[in-house]
Structure 1
Amino acid sequence: MIQQEPDVLPSGWVKAPTARRGNIISAIKELVTKTFVIAELEVRKLRHDPTDLVVRSVQPSLWLLIFGQVFARLREIPTGSLPYLDFMAAGILAQSVLYIAIFTGGMTLIWERDLGIVHKFLASPTPRVAMVLGKALACGVRCLSQVLVIYAIATFLGVKLNFHPIAIFQVLLLVMLGAGCFCIFSLIIGCLAKTRERMTGIGQMLTMPLFFASNAIYPVAIMPGWLKFISHLNPLTYQVDALRGTMLLNGSSVYGFGFDLMILAFTLTVLAIIGGRLYPRVAM
């Protein structure tokens, strides 16, 4: 005799996990979709002011053309088998990404708050994390132009770059991840600062320590002990290390590309969660 399946299943029976899986998949799909929508809205702003990309390329150009040439002649910074300009090129690309991300994320958020755009976003059913990740993704797209600038100047100066398609893809991925990390970090500061003047001051106060407490223009090995400890907590150190191993023809990574990528991805995830929690505070 075949026993029929009861019409009402007990709580927590077979069909409940299926429903939960469906909810998780739909939530992830919504998060990804809304993230790309927010990113598209941010990227559209470049149409109104594309000269911003040109202005942003001035600073890294000066670092490579002026400071790089001078430091290379000093020959006081040990860079192993790499010429100093080769060593510095990856650091200047990371520095350019850092500056754009820091001064784009928080300032844009406060500007949108003043225009009432943030209130409209918060009134929508869009997940807060999607709002944060969308801005981070758009910042990464904005920073991709710096890859072209740095590659062009570095090639002109004789830096031996790796133009293999896989290496270029890895560089673009690292730029996107680094831009996302520091953009969300800037958004968190913007949620707490809440004014443009305060955000500008804090941004200027943080960019230089982040830059100099990394391996961008000198190796970690020559740092004093306390600075080495800080550099190991600095995500920029791992971005520069990975860039140095991928964008240079004779470059190498100290920590390994996989480890650097894991650190950047973990930092991005943690900052995105924190940023999603703090995002509504900017409207208070």
Structure 2
Amino acid sequence: MSTMTAKAASPPSSRVGVGATIQQTATLAWRSLVQIKHNPWELLDLSIQPIMFLLLFTYVFGGAISGSTGDYLQFALPGLLVQNALFYTLSTAIGLNSDITKGVFDRLRSLPISRTAPLAGRVIADTFKQIWAFALLVGFGAVLGFRVQTDLLGVLGALALLVVVSLAMAWMSVLIGLIASSPEKVQMISFSAMMPLTFTSSALVPADTFPAWLKTWSDLNPVTHLADAIRGMMIGGEVASPALVSLLWAAGFALVFAPIAINVFRTRI
């Protein structure tokens, strides 16, 4: 009896195994996804914004930039896929910050779970939502006249690369979501970071039209390399070099921001 009492009174181990961490991450990712059932406006918002950007950029700027909306659609849709994926990482930060301010993570803190599971679960769930947005944009773009010039393998490769890079860059948004004091400040900080990255790249306009000093930055911009790689996989062009640089940038973002975000999470929560 005394042995059983001692075992019952002993505190749970603070270390969580790899298998348990994966299971807990999957559970929390599913929690984020199943919320769509109770809040369908979240999926509607995820669907309307990409289509709105596609229509606006194609029919407002297409003629001025490329001479015709059809030519611009072929050029811009891969870039819009990149822009949408990176902007959606803002919702990762906002959702995470909302969970923190509402006390959700206060309840998770009392459970013997991995400290990385709540963060990784949110990131993975939002990555699945990005797959939906990718399919929606490509499908709607096809209705407007976009045509894939490569093959199905190229489209799947573009999706895989986009998911990997956005998954890595999402850790920067996670860090912003952890340090900001409110969802409104998360949106302001994240938007200020993402807007210059996307609009000073070759995602939406050819970088050759930039002034020399801006083109120098654009050539280094990770969004430029990602957009060029996605464009090459979907409509033809160089793939290996921009894809490799994009993966190196992804590794850099993950190695820098993921450990910092996890450390901030452990000290704040």
- The normalised TM-score by structure 1 is 0.76
Q: Which amino acid aligns with 1:36?
A: A
Task: Tell me which residue corresponds to 2:52.
Answer: 62
State whether residues 35 and 130 of structure 1, in contact with CA within 8 Å, keep that contact through their aligned partners in structure 2.
yes
State whether residues 161 and 243 of structure 2, in contact with CA within 8 Å, keep that contact through their aligned partners in structure 1.
no
- Which runs of structure 2 are paired with 1:114-153 in the superposition (5 Å)? 114-153=101-140
Task: Tell me which residue corresponds to 1:155.
Answer: 142
Q: Which amino acid aligns with 2:78?
A: A
Q: 2:196 aligns with which of 183, 186, 209?
A: 209
Deviation at 1:111, TM superposition (A): 1.4
Task: Tell me which residue corresponds to 1:277.
Answer: 263
Pairs aligned (count) = 252
Q: Deviations over 1:146-178 (max 9, x none)?
A: 112211221122222157342232233223224
Q: 1:184 aligns with which of 163, 171, 178?
A: 171
* Residues 262 and 166 of structure 1, relative CA distance in 2, 3 Å threshold: farther
State whether residues 28 and 122 of structure 2, in contact with CA within 8 Å, keep that contact through their aligned partners in structure 1.
yes
Q: Which amino acid aligns with 1:185?
A: M
CA distance in structure 2 between the partners assigned to 1:36 and 1:241 by the alignment: 32
State whether residues 190 and 282 of structure 1, in contact with CA within 8 Å, keep that contact through their aligned partners in structure 2.
no
State whether residues 144 and 175 of structure 1, in contact with CA within 8 Å, keep that contact through their aligned partners in structure 2.
no
Task: Tell me which residue corresponds to 2:24.
Answer: 34
Deviation at 1:281, TM superposition (A): 4.6
SS of corresponding position for 1:44: helix
Q: Which amino acid aligns with 1:71?
A: F
Task: Tell me which residue corresponds to 2:8.
Answer: none
Deviation at 1:233, TM superposition (A): 5.2
Q: Which amino acid aligns with 2:180?
A: A
Deviation at 1:217, TM superposition (A): 0.6
SS of corresponding position for 2:147: coil
- The normalised TM-score by structure 2 is 0.80
Q: Does 1:84 align with 2:43?
A: no
Largest Rg, 1 or 2? 1
Task: Tell me which residue corresponds to 1:12.
Answer: none
Q: Deviations over 1:110-148 (max 9, x none)?
A: 211122211233343433333322221111101111112
Deviation at 1:83, TM superposition (A): 3.1
SS of corresponding position for 1:217: coil
Percent of aligned pairs with the same amino acid: 25
Q: Which amino acid aligns with 2:244?
A: G
Instruction: Give the structure with the higher percent helix.
Output: 2
Runs of 4+ in 1 over 6 A off after TM superposition: none
Task: Tell me which residue corresponds to 1:43.
Answer: 33
Q: Does 1:257 align with 2:247?
A: no
CA distance in structure 1 between the partners assigned to 2:55 and 2:36 by the alignment: 27
State whether residues 241 and 260 of structure 1, in contact with CA within 8 Å, keep that contact through their aligned partners in structure 2.
no
Deviation at 1:189, TM superposition (A): 0.8
CA distance in structure 1 between the partners assigned to 2:183 and 2:139 by the alignment: 34
Task: Tell me which residue corresponds to 1:100.
Answer: 88
Deviation at 1:229, TM superposition (A): 4.7
Q: Which amino acid aligns with 2:263?
A: R
CA distance in structure 2 between the partners assigned to 1:269 and 1:44 by the alignment: 30
Deviation at 1:213, TM superposition (A): 2.2
RMSD: 2.8
CA distance in structure 1 between the partners assigned to 2:93 and 2:71 by the alignment: 36
State whether residues 150 and 234 of structure 2, in contact with CA within 8 Å, keep that contact through their aligned partners in structure 1.
yes
